[in-house]
Structure formats: C-alpha cells, structure tokens
Amino acid sequence: MKQRPIRWSVYAGLTPAILIVVFAYIGTIIWTVGISFTDSRMLPVARFAGFNQYVRLFATERWLTSVQNMVIVGVLMIAISLALGFLLAVALDQRIRAEGFLRTIILYPYAMSFIVTGLVWQWILNPTLGIEQTVRGWGFENFRFDWIIQKETAIYCVVLAAVWHAAGLVMAIMLAGLRGIDQDLWKASRIDGIKPWRFYWHIVVPILRPSFISATVLLSLGVVKLYDLVLVLTGGGPGFSSDVPAKFVMDYLFQRQNIGLATAAATTLLITVLCALTPWLYAEYFRAEKRKD
Amino acid sequence: MSTPPAKIHNVPMGEGPSGRAPKGVGPARIGIYAFLVISALFFLLPLYVMIVTSIKPMEEIRLGGLFTLPTTITFEPWAKAWSSACTGLDCRGISPGFWNSVKILVPSVFCSIFVGALTGYALSFWRVRCANLLFAALLLGAFLPYQVFIYPLVRIYSATGLFSTIYALVLTHVIFGLPVMTLLFRNYYAGIPIDLFKAARVDGGRFFSIFFRLMLPMSIPMLVVAVILQVTGIWNDFIMGLTFGGLANRPMTVQLTNLVAPTEGEIAYNVNMAATIMTAAVPLIVYFVSGRWFVRGIAAGAVKG
C-alpha cells in the first residue's frame, strides 16, 4: 500500500470521526481549559485571571475532601476488586461444578447501571430499613450498621457498592488470563510437587501481569468517572463527606453556577488522568502495533 | 470466524479449567466451594432484595424489613411503578422513561456502530495521513472524564438549537461511543487477511463498496458484540440523559432517580424496587441471553469504564 494517491472517499468516510475529534474532543477541552483561566462565575467571561481559580479550588475544603475520597475509593476499591476477582477466578478454575452458573452470577452486576446499583445498596445499607433493622429484628437490639449516615464512613459504602459492581469484571479478565496459561506449566508444577499456593503466587501472578494491569486501568478509569453511583448512594453526603471530583464538577457547573471553579476542577482531573495514562496508552496501543503489509 | 485480537488479552472462556483435577472431597475442596457460594450470595443479595421487596405489600416491609420472603405476593407495586407512580405531579409511572430510553437507544446504537465500524475500517485498511494522531485523539474520548467535555457541549447544543432534543442525545452517544466502537472494529479488521482486501481492490472495489459489500457482512460477530455493548452502555447512561435530555427526553435511569426521590409521606419501597428492576431489566436480559458474547464484549471494549 505504498505510494497510493490520496483518495477523497477515504476522508469522506473519516469525516464524522474527524469532526468529532476536532470539535467534540479537542475543541471542548480547549474551551474548558480556557474558561478555567478566567474569572467566570455564572456565565463565561473573557477576563483573564491566571491561576486564580486553581488557587481558590485548592483552598476549597469540599474539593480537597472529594479528591481525598477519590484516592480512598481508588486504592480500596481497586485493591479489593483485584483480590476478590482474582481469587474468584482461581476458585472457578478448579474444575468446579456449575462453573457457568456461578460465573453468570458473579458477573451480572457489571451489566447493571450505577443508578440501579446505588439505589439498591442505599436501601440495603439504610439503617432504618436494611441490614441494621433486620439484625435488630432478630433480637440484637444494640446492633449498629449505619455507615451510610456517618460522615467518617459513608465513603466506604461507595467502596462496597463499587466492588460489588466491578469484581465480576476482574474475575472475567483473570479467568480469561488463567485459561490462556500453557497447560504444560501445570503439569510440570504437579510433577515437581510444588504446593498450589506457591505455584499461583510465584508463577501464575507474574504471568497474569498484563491482565492485572488492564484490570487496574479499567477500574481506575471508573474511579475518576465515578458520579452516578455516589449521587444515588449517598448524594455526596452527609454534608459533602462522600463527595467525589466528578460530582463536584457537575454541581458547580449546573447547580452552584460557578463555572470558573468547575472548569478548573475538570482541568485538574484531565491533567491527572493524562499523566497517569499516557505511558500505559503508549505501551498498549502504539508500540509494535504497525500493520504489516 | 476468527477471534478479534482485542486489547484486553481475551482468550475466550470455555477452553477448560486449568486447575488441578480434584482428588476427592478434601477440606480444600470444601473451602473453595464455600468461598464461591458465599461470594455468589453476596452478588445475589441486591437482586434478591429487589425482587422480594417488589412483590411485598407495604405492611410487610414495615414489619419485616427487606430480607424476609413475602407471605402475601402482590403484583400491584409492579403495575403502579409502570403506569401510575408519581414523579412530582406527573403520575404516569416509569413507562414514559422506558419509551424515552427506547427512542434514544435505537438511533444511538445504530449510528454509533455505523460510524465506529466505518472509522475502524478506514484506519485499518487505508492509508490515512496522521492516522495515529487521529487514533490517539480518539482515545481521549474514551479515557477522559465527561466533565471535561460537558459544559462546552451544552453551549454548542444550545447555540444550534439541539439542546434537550433527542438529536442531542443521539449525537452525544455517537460522540462518546466512537472510541470504543472504532477500537473494536479496528482490532477486528486487523485480524482479516490483507490479501482479501487487496483482491477486492484489484477487482475495482472502492472505499465504500468494499466496506458495504465485503467488510460489513464479514463483521457480523463484531456487530453482535458492538450491539450488546452499546445497548447496555446507552441504556445505563445517566449523566448524558440528565445533562442533555431536558424534561421531555429523560431516559429511564433519570426518571427512576426522580421517581424514587423521597417525597412527603411514606416511601413506597415496593413500588420503588419494582421500578428499579424494570430499569435494570433491559441490560440484564441482554446479559443473560447473550452469555459468552457479553464477556467477549467487555473484554474487547471494557475501556468504556
């Protein structure tokens, strides 16, 4: 395919993609970043204000709380989902009866929306309706499980619901990885009499490194985008104790009408994601990916 | 059909377990089953709560909490949730949201897959200037949080009169569905022998004719995966529907949150749960019916996050 003249029909076919990239992605990003350097409040104004919005942003307690929450959810949710998903995949891989049935049950939460997930868990965790109420009904009058209405613990309810939603995805990725491991390795380990747990820890986990990386990237993207789940599960409350950055941006854009601050927050998110992702994206999509023809 | 060389290292499941063959029923075996059963119960708990509560009368919920089985079964909450539960002054249940979602879903799924397949095809077989740049920029749309794009899009839609129309929503789903769809089809086409394409070129095939007559018919497995992904993704969307849909085009998820929002008086948990199950029904049916295809879909397109 060398030296072929440019064919306009190819570019006609790419027009939608090019328009979307130029206007909907790059254009809007520039616009958003641009607003963040002005002192816009309710409406965008073109008065340049340098880093004022960013200074104000990082002096806003609610923003700092939401960033902290993102880190808490990120670390805990990813660690727990990876561990649980991996263990489930290993367990399912032991010639289990009804494997397909169990797999279906473990993965179905991933098909549900965050809205549905959030609502159900909000009902289950609601102290006057769900678990606390039920256990008290069994006669344990002093039983307390009111994480969702306590400032210090509400964010852990988000972690719980997010793990419930995502663990199946990790399981699916890990199981696919396990099924791809060379059968001879298993035979060899059996002949050598290596203990199963040592085999998994020292051989299988390193082999599954790409699966762990993929799963981690997917889960962290979900953490940055986390919005609907928090909105219905805790509403960001009590107060703003379980707020997250994406929700902070949405609230300041559309409810609190402070678009300067909101776009500064969005830009901060953008930079964070770009810094974290660029190396992975490069390795995953561009290295050694040239089509041979 | 060849398996798509997806990025998430997906060996399709079902090649047979690789763990050791059981040596009878030892304690390790029991432990594994116990772990799996307890986990399965954890995953099933919310579904159980929703179903059980949605068929209980309110008196029972007041007395027994969420987890007990109903003594009397009633389908009244379902009927009420569908057609007569109130959102503010509007007492038409969740059904208008369902139909709105259908109206958004059908054109969005069709357009986003078409544009994605076309882009993937062009990037995969044709020499395009700056193809890598375009591809890198596309990934932005997949990985960046929507909050970065959303305010300018609101302004653009307002300026063009698209705001709070169904077109704005369809366009938005095409915009944010494009990266994953392109990726899916680009990877799939990368697995099709280039000689096939060259033969079609020699036969005088042009860009669009090769796409419509050769590549699209060959992509049926990927089209199925794409439909599964987009139907669940678009049906489950909340943020786009909330931001761009306006009052008239609220999708089911947005309407659900309005429906269950606490109001004066006692909260009808059974009605709320029935409405929630209905909202979850479409993706769940897609999931249970499609089975392995769904797994393939998330493996190939899980970047959507």
Smallest CA–CA distance, residue B228 to chain A, in Å, is: 10
Burial class, A8, CB count within 10 angstroms (exposed 0-12 / middle 13-18 / buried 19+): exposed
Q: Which domain holds residue B59?
A: 25-74
CA–CA distance, A199 with B2 (Å, rounded to integer): 32
**In this structure, is residue A145 part of a structural domain?**
yes
Partner-chain residue, chosen from B21, B43, B128, that has the shortest CB–CB distance to A14: B128
- Residues of chain A with Cβ-Cβ distance to B207 below 8 Å are 7, 9-10, 12-13
Residue A48: strand pairing partners: A38
pLDDT < 70 stretches in chain B: 1-25, 264, 298-305
- The span from the CA of A35 to the CA of A41, in Å, is 10
pLDDT over threshold 70, residue A280: yes
Q: Spell out which residues of chain A touch residue B145, defining contact as CB-CB under 8 Å.
A: 224-225, 245-246, 249, 266, 269-270, 273
Q: What whole-number percentage of chain B has pLDDT above 90?
A: 31
Question: Are B238 and A106 in contact (CB < 8 Å)?
Answer: no
**ipTM of model:** 0.87
Question: In this structure, is residue A206 part of a structural domain?
Answer: yes
Residue A134 touches partner B, C-beta closer than 8 Å: yes
Task: Give me the pLDDT at residue B106, please.
Answer: 95
Cα(B267)–Cα(B259) distance, integer angstroms? 11
> Does a structural domain hold residue B84?
no
Is residue A147 within 8 Å of residue A157, measured between CB atoms?
yes
pLDDT at A290 over 60: no
Residues B102 and B230 in one domain: yes
Is B195 a domain residue?
yes
Residue A114 lies in a domain: yes
Distances (CA, A) of A3 to A6, A145, A220, B128, B215: 9, 70, 42, 12, 24
Same domain? For B106 and B49 the reply is no
Q: Does A123 touch chain B (CB under 8 A)?
A: yes
Q: Which of A17, A29, A31 sits opposite B178 (nearest CB)?
A: A17
Residue pLDDT, tens place only, A164-176: 999 999 999 898 8
**In this structure, is residue B12 part of a structural domain?**
no
Q: Is residue A237 part of a domain?
A: yes
Q: Note whether B149 contacts A108, CB cutoff 8 Å.
A: no
For residue A7, the surrounding DSSP H or E stretch is: none
Are B161 and B119 members of one domain?
Answer: yes
**B54/B140 same-domain check:** no
Supply the pLDDT for residue B277: 93
pLDDT of res. B19: 63
- Whether B134 and B239 map to the same domain: the answer is yes
Q: Out of A125-134, A259-268, B20-29, which region has the weakest mean confidence (pLDDT)?
A: B20-29
Give me the pLDDT at residue A1, please.
47
Q: Is there a single domain that holds both residue B129 and residue B277? A: yes
pLDDT (0 to 100) of residue B21: 58
Residue A264 has pLDDT above 60, yes or no: yes
Q: What is the pLDDT of residue A276?
A: 81
B13 domain residue, yes or no: no
Burial of B103 by CB count in 10 Å (0-12 exposed, 13-18 middle, 19+ buried)?
A: middle
Say yes or no: B65 and B123 in one domain.
no
Task: State the pLDDT at residue B22.
Answer: 56
Please tell me which residue of chain A has the smallest CA distance to B259. A119
**Number of structural domains, chain A?**
1
Instruction: Answer whether A209 touches B (CB < 8 Å).
Output: no
Residue in B186, B57, B61, B66 with CA at minimum distance from that of residue B120: B186
Question: Hey, how many other C-beta atoms are within 10 angstroms of the C-beta on B198?
Answer: 14
CATH code at position A139:
1.10.3720.10
pLDDT averaged over every residue in chain B: 84
Residue A1 within any structural domain of the chain: no
Distance from CA of B203 to the nearest CA of A (A): 16
Chain A residues in contact with B147 (beta carbon < 8 A): 227, 245-246, 249-250, 253, 262, 265-266, 269
B137 and B69 in a common domain:
no
A244 to each of A119, A164, A229, A236, how far by Cα in Å?
A: 18, 19, 10, 7
Q: How far is A172 from chain B (nearest CA, A)?
A: 7
Instruction: State the smallest CA–CA distance between residue A95 and chain B in angstroms.
Output: 6
Q: Tokens standing for B135?
A: 């591809």
Q: What's the mean pLDDT when you consider all of chain A?
A: 86
Residue with tokens 């396990």: A178
CA A99/CA B130 separation, integer angstroms:
46
Q: For position A286, what pLDDT does the model report? A: 66
A129, A175, A181: residue with CB nearest B13? A175
Q: Which of residues 220-259 of A touch B (CB under 8 A)?
A: 221-222, 224-225, 227-228, 231-232, 245-246, 249-250, 253-254, 259
pLDDT value of residue A5: 56
Assess if residue A54 is contained within a domain. no
Q: What gap in Å lies between CA A38 and CA A44, rounded to an integer?
A: 8
Is residue B127 a part of any domain in this protein? yes
Res B14: pLDDT: 45
- Residue-wise pLDDT for B85-121, tens only, equals 887 777 888 888 999 999 999 999 999 999 999 999 9
Indicate whether A44 belongs to any domain.
no
For residue B3, is it within any domain?
A: no
Q: Identify the CA nearest to A287 among candidates B192, B298, B127, B7.
A: B7
Chain B residues 13-52 within an 8 A CB cutoff of chain A: 13-22, 29, 32-33, 35-36, 39-40, 42-47, 49-50
Alpha helices (runs of H) in A58-138, residue ranges in sequence order? 61-92, 99-107, 114-125, 131-137
Indicate whether A121 pLDDT > 90.
Answer: yes
* Cα distances (angstroms) measured from residue A278 to each of A273, A275, B199: 8, 6, 38
**Structural domain range at position A242:** 61-256
For residue A77, the model assigns a pLDDT of 95
Final residue in a domain of this structure, among B39, B74, B109: B74
Residues B63, B112, single domain; the answer is: no
Contact of A83 with chain B, judged by CB distance below 8 Å, is answered with no
pLDDT band at A213 (very low <50, low <70, confident <90, very high): confident
- Could you tell me which chain B residue has the CA closest to the CA of A274? B144
> Same structural domain for residues B54 and B179?
no
pLDDT at residue A153 greater than cutoff 80? yes
**B226 found inside a domain:** yes
Q: Token match 């987009």: residue? A: B230
Cα–Cα distance measured from residue A64 to residue B51, given in angstroms and rounded to the nearest whole number = 39
Query: Does B168 map to a domain?
Result: yes
- Contacts of residue B225, defined as CB under 8 A and 6 or more positions apart, other chains included, come to B4, B184, B293, B296, B297, B300, B301
Mean pLDDT on A219-233 = 90
Q: How many CA atoms lie within 13 A of B15 on its CB side?
A: 15
* Final residue before a domain boundary, out of B16, B42, B74: B74
Work out the pLDDT band at A256, boundaries 50, 70, 90: confident
Rounded to two decimals, the pTM is 0.88
The closest CB to that of B147, out of A211, A250, A291, belongs to A250
Mean pLDDT calculated for residue range A139-159:
85
The number of distinct structural domains making up chain B is 2
Cβ distance of B147 and A246 shorter than 8 Å:
yes
Task: Indicate whether B244 and B131 sit together in one domain.
Answer: yes
**Residue A293, pLDDT score:** 41
B36 and A92 in contact by Cβ < 8 A?
Answer: yes
d(CA B87, CA B94): 9
* Per-residue pLDDT at B7: 38
**Each residue's pLDDT tens digit, A25-50:** 999 999 999 988 888 877 777 778 77
Q: Within this chain, do residues B69 and B99 fall inside the same structural domain, yes or no? A: no
